[in-house]
Amino acid sequence: MKPQNIFILLFALFLFACAEDGQSSLTPETSISGQGGSLARFSIVGNYLYTINSDQLNIFDISDASQPFLKNTQFLPSNDVETIFPFSNWLFMGTETGMLIFERQAEGTVQFISRYDHVRSCDPVVTDGEFAYVTLRATGCRNAAEGAVDVVEAISLEELENPQIIGDKELNSPRGLALDNDVLFVCDGPAGFWVFDVSTPGTFETITKVENINVNDIILRNGIAMVIGPNNVYQYDYTKLPTLTKISELELE
Amino acid sequence: MSTRLLFFLLLVSLSSCFERMVDIPEETIGLAPIYGEESDKLIQLMDPQPIVSLYKIYYKAPYIYAGETGRGVHIIDNSDPSAPKKIAFLQILGNSDIAIRDNYLYANYENELVTININDLDNIEIVSRLENVFDKFVGDLFPEGYSGFFECVDPTKGVVIGWSEKILLEPQCWR
């Protein structure tokens, strides 16, 4: 193999390793971690596994992947935390009443930054660091308060200490969501899923929508959207939006 | 009390009826809880299993891990995304979440964090168990990600490890 080719190969491997664990920034690493959806309560960043357990964030040191140990327990200012989403040095948590933002710090500790509250419902969160998107689901949410609605909200993180809602869009019963640059995918339960252009902050411009499937959560990876519903795993190629091409549908009966 | 007020009260009470009351069918197809038995309290890799209700998704090349709350994860070979293949079911009673680093899969199992070496799927190995790091899983009181009628959970029967379809007579639970 020519040295040039080896270089290209190494570079490709390097890129691949980055993509596998793109949310790590505190610790450089060679280990490869998987990728969860927005409904996850477990998340690996750097050498730590962050887990949510109602009002606790348990932080496990996994520098030796085979022998994790509990490094730290952080009590959360909310006893209904449902999801965790890491971005850069932050941890975003979806709670039944909104969103919490923590900063990851050295030695497996975290620092509370801020919270954003709304009416009690069910809601995961994703972010690109500039904006956060949360879905609020009242339909089929056992603890939803009266007046809770089914929407996706855009929240500005310009002031991280003071997150502000800048826009929303009403949906049917939104659940998991995922963001790739300015393209936001939102699972809408039995109503299918939406693909929105969110390049204009606070607006949700529909690029396309897939109907007649029931979906809960989604992972975006290398131009493929992996979408999970109660009985199926669907995969779509989204590199040629607004065209969304179904690659496969696995029915798990 | 004025007639108008009475009318208003009637409307209010009616509207609360409309919100709360559901027509309970005499017979319908819905979900019924599957209660775990002692023998189910195992972490083991099994042949592909039928699914009841998937909820979460996790990916680490080349596999998709499709989570079934309370039971475990279906492992799907996604080497070819146009032809994904269900290859195994990792049973972990009371599990809701997983994460994977290298060859190690972390999962909540009852109140424990369990670390499983999945390098060789034919020969998985539990390499670490940390107890008392989570609240004990008591089972779902409702089928996650499902809307419709279901048989109410009776906690005296044990931990709910899953849900199956069943013909229900006058079901008292729904969501």
* Nearest CA distance, A8 vs chain B (angstrom): 21
Is the CB of residue A41 less than 8 Å away from at least one CB of chain B? yes
pLDDT per residue as tens digits for the range B132-163: 898 765 455 677 667 788 888 887 777 776 77
Q: Is residue B20 part of a domain?
A: no
Q: Which domain holds residue B54?
A: 27-174
Residue A115 to residue A22: CA distance in whole angstroms: 25
CATH number belonging to domain A23-212:
2.130.10.10
Is the CB of residue B149 less than 8 Å away from at least one CB of chain A? no
- Number of alpha helices (DSSP H) and beta strands (DSSP E) in chain A: 1, 21
Report the residue from B57, B76, B108 with minimal CB separation from A37: B57
Q: Is residue B10 part of a domain?
A: no
pLDDT band (50, 70, 90) for residue B164: confident
Residue A75 to residue A92: CA distance in whole angstroms: 15
Residue A11 to residue A187: CA distance in whole angstroms: 34
Reported ipTM: the value is: 0.85
pTM: 0.78
Residues 6+ apart with CB under 8 A from A18: none
* Nearest CA distance, A154 vs chain B (angstrom): 23
Query: Taking chain A, what is the end-to-end CA distance rounded to the nearest angstrom?
Result: 46
Is the CB of residue A217 less than 8 Å away from at least one CB of chain B? yes
pLDDT per residue as tens digits for the range B73-128: 999 999 999 999 999 999 998 788 999 999 999 999 878 999 999 999 989 999 99
Q: Is residue B130 part of a domain?
A: yes
Provide the 10 A C-beta neighbour count for residue A109: 14
DSSP for B129-168 reads EE-SSSPPP---SS-TT--SEEPPP-GGG--EEEEEEEEE
Residue B51: list chain A partners with CB under 8 A. Answer: 231, 252-253
Report the residue from A31, A41, A231 with minimal CB separation from B102: A31
Domain positions in chain A: 23-212
The answer to whether A70 and A58 are in contact (CB under 8 A) is yes
Residues 6+ apart with CB under 8 A from A219: A35, A36, A37, A178, A225, A226, B57, B58, B59
Q: 3-class DSSP state for residue B4? A: helix
Beta-bridge mates of residue A117: A98
The answer to whether A198 and A204 are in contact (CB under 8 A) is yes
- How many domains, chain B? 1
Predicted local confidence at residue A181, as pLDDT: 94
Q: Which residue, among B85, B75, B56, has the nearest Cα to A251 in the 3D structure? A: B85
At A34, list the tokens: 């998987």
Per-residue pLDDT of chain A (253 residues; tens, 9 = 90+): 444 555 454 444 444 443 334 343 444 446 799 999 999 999 999 999 999 987 899 999 999 999 999 999 999 988 888 899 999 999 999 988 889 999 999 889 999 999 998 777 777 999 999 999 999 888 776 667 777 789 999 999 999 999 999 999 999 999 999 999 999 999 999 999 999 999 999 999 999 999 999 999 999 999 999 999 998 999 999 999 999 999 999 986 6
Is B82 in Cβ contact with A247 (below 8 Å)?
yes
Predicted local confidence at residue B16, as pLDDT: 43
Predicted local confidence at residue A52, as pLDDT: 92
pLDDT band (50, 70, 90) for residue B20: very low
Beta-bridge mates of residue A163: none
Beta-bridge mates of residue A201: none
Q: Is residue B16 part of a domain?
A: no
Q: Is residue B11 part of a domain?
A: no
Predicted local confidence at residue A60, as pLDDT: 97
Q: Is residue B96 part of a domain?
A: yes
Residues 6+ apart with CB under 8 A from B173: B142, B149, B150, B151, B152, B153
Say whether pLDDT at B44 is over 60. Answer: yes
